[in-house]
Amino acid sequence: MFIGWDWATETHDVTVMDQLGARVERWELPHTEEGITKTLARLAKHGAPEDLPVAIETTRGLVVDRLLAAGHPVVPVHPNAFHAMRPRWGASKAKTDAGDSLKLADYLRTDGHFLPRLEPTDQATMDLQSLSRQRADHVEARTAAINQLASLLDAHWPGGKAMFARLNSDIALAFLERYPTPASAAKLTAARLEAWCKRQSYTGKKPGSVLIESLRSAPAPASRLSPDIVEQLVRLQVQLVQGIRATIRALDKAITDAVGQHPYAPLFAAMPRIGKVNLGQIIGELGPILERAQTCEQFIAEAGVVPVTRASGKSRTVAFRYATNRRARQAIGIFADNSRHDSDWASKIYTDARSRKKRHPHAIRILARAWLRVIWACRRDGTCYDPAIHQANGKINSRPDTPVPA
């Protein structure tokens, strides 16, 4: 039996098809606990869950999680690929929910052996992935909030923006919270500013005279807002930045704790300049790929650091791979870029790539491929990273992969 599941926000449509392509059953269900529970029970009447693969146009979400938890093999179908297949069932490319569930089931019946299947990810890896992704979202929010603060200062207090550039972020935010307008800093002297910075544990080498000069030499704003409104705007934006920074610190601690308990952490913790947060990103994003990949080359391809080759007749192009796991590529790319500053082996791979006229992002992806082979070897052999084992004469020194049966 083959199941096609057309999912939506409020209702879903399910079709059950047999091996000959005949529709056995079809029904519509609401997106409620009762609807999903009854549907899972209804599917169980057609056989064991592990023998009932489900084709669906998504890789994540509540429905996918419930199907995996029930034991169904889930086959994600990309909407673009499914759209390209529509002429198979009619030139008009007609679309209805009932028709899509039938077509998904038929697509799974005829081409399912070409499509990858989702595998339940280890709970610890899922937890780490969620923490890492939320941290990445908060970092983006912090960048946006700081940019908004810079724009606000540029329009209403350029001197405050100059001080923000001179001081480190914690002290700069404290300064703007205490002196949010030009009027509030009008009586500030070099000695008082230097004493205040000292109380804030300022570690910079700029004396108070230099700091006060950057404050005084900034152009006067042409703001038509009242000082009270400017003060309120600046303080509220500073509080927003400080709040996001606090959540990032909390997430850093949570990631550090989660990494310490993850079984993959000892395998990769000794890698050069990997850090706890980046280690959490690598385990969280690469861990699910590492668990389902059958060969090292598949692992590298799904991480998105290899190009796509398109050859037909006399034409042949090798292009950047856009359709991939973007977060996984970012995680391994950050580590690869950091590693070349603390590993002669990584530095040589990067330098050799640059000498072949590769741009920096391309050279980083080449280095990332080498590190992914190391990660694959560590996980496959169950050995912690050791340069003497995994880096011999510039190549990965480990036994070859076991051939995957057809």
- At 179-199, the pLDDT tens digits run 999 889 888 899 999 999 899
pLDDT at residue number 406: 34
Residue 404 lies in a domain: no
For residue range 143-171, what is the model confidence (pLDDT) as tens digits? 999 999 999 999 998 888 888 888 888 89
Residue 399 lies in a domain: no
Boundary of a domain, candidates 64, 89, 114: 114
Residue 61 lies in a domain: yes
Same domain, 133 and 233: yes
Please give the structure tokens belonging to residue 149.
């603060």
* More confident position, 101 or 389: 101
Whether the per-residue pLDDT at 83 is higher than 50: the answer is: yes
From 12-21, 36-45, 219-228, the region with the lowest mean pLDDT: 219-228
pLDDT at residue number 282: 94
Same domain, 96 and 33: yes
Rounded distance, CA 394 to CA 55, Å? 43
Residue 120 lies in a domain: no
What's the whole-number mean pLDDT along residues 112-138? 88
Same domain, 184 and 280: no
SS3 87: helix
Paired sense of beta strands 2-6 and 54-56, if any: parallel
Same domain, 26 and 109: yes
Same domain, 382 and 338: yes
Neighbours of 288 (CB within 10 A): 21
- For residue 395, the 8-state DSSP code is B
List beta partners, residue 25.
16
What's the whole-number mean pLDDT along residues 298-327? 87
Same domain, 239 and 276: no
Provide the pLDDT confidence category of residue 319 given band limits of 50, 70 and 90.
confident
Domain count of the fold of the chain:
3
Please give the structure tokens belonging to residue 386.
């050791």
- Most confident segment among 84-88, 118-122, 153-157, 386-390: 153-157
Residue 401 lies in a domain: no
Rounded distance, CA 244 to CA 273, Å? 25
CATH number of the domain bearing residue 10: 3.30.420.40
CATH number of the domain bearing residue 170: 1.10.287
Amino acid letter, residue 116:
P
Range of the domain at 348: 265-390
- For residue 322, give Cα distances in angstroms to 83, 305, 365: 19, 10, 13
Boundary of a domain, candidates 235, 256, 277: 256
Element (H, E) at 308: strand 308-312
Same domain, 136 and 174: yes
Burial class (CB in 10 A: 0-12, 13-18, 19+), 193: buried
Rounded distance, CA 305 to CA 370, Å? 10
Please give the structure tokens belonging to residue 308.
């796509």
Boundary of a domain, candidates 85, 114, 143: 114
Q: Average pLDDT over the chain, rounded to whole?
A: 88
Paired sense of beta strands 308-312 and 315-319, if any: antiparallel
Provide the pLDDT confidence category of residue 97 given band limits of 50, 70 and 90.
confident
SS3 333: helix
Paired sense of beta strands 23-30 and 54-56, if any: unpaired
Residue 104 lies in a domain: yes
pLDDT at residue number 381: 87
Provide the pLDDT confidence category of residue 393 given band limits of 50, 70 and 90.
very low
Whether the per-residue pLDDT at 404 is higher than 50: the answer is: no
Provide the pLDDT confidence category of residue 314 given band limits of 50, 70 and 90.
confident
What's the whole-number mean pLDDT along residues 91-109? 84
**Percent of the chain having pLDDT more than 70?**
96
pLDDT at residue number 59: 80
Q: What's 44-85 look like in SS3?
A: HCCCCHHHCCEEECCCCCHHHHHHHHHCCCEEECCHHHHHHC
How many CA atoms are closer than 13 Å to the CA of 24, on its beta-carbon side? 17
pLDDT at residue number 389: 77
Same domain, 134 and 197: yes
* Rg of the chain taking only CA atoms, in angstroms: 28
Same domain, 134 and 174: yes
Same domain, 241 and 280: no
pLDDT at residue number 387: 84
Whether the per-residue pLDDT at 396 is higher than 70: the answer is: no
Same domain, 98 and 7: yes
Rounded distance, CA 152 to CA 161, Å? 9
Backbone angle region of 104, left / alpha / beta, with phi > 0 → left and psi within -120 to 50 → alpha? alpha
**Helix spans in 112-226 (H):** 123-156, 158-166, 169-178, 190-199, 208-216
Same domain, 109 and 169: no
Residue 171 lies in a domain: yes
SS3 9: coil
Whether the per-residue pLDDT at 384 is higher than 70: the answer is: yes
What's the whole-number mean pLDDT along residues 67-87? 87
79-80-81 Cα angle (round to 5) = 90
Residue 119 lies in a domain: no
pLDDT at residue number 337: 95
pLDDT at residue number 300: 92
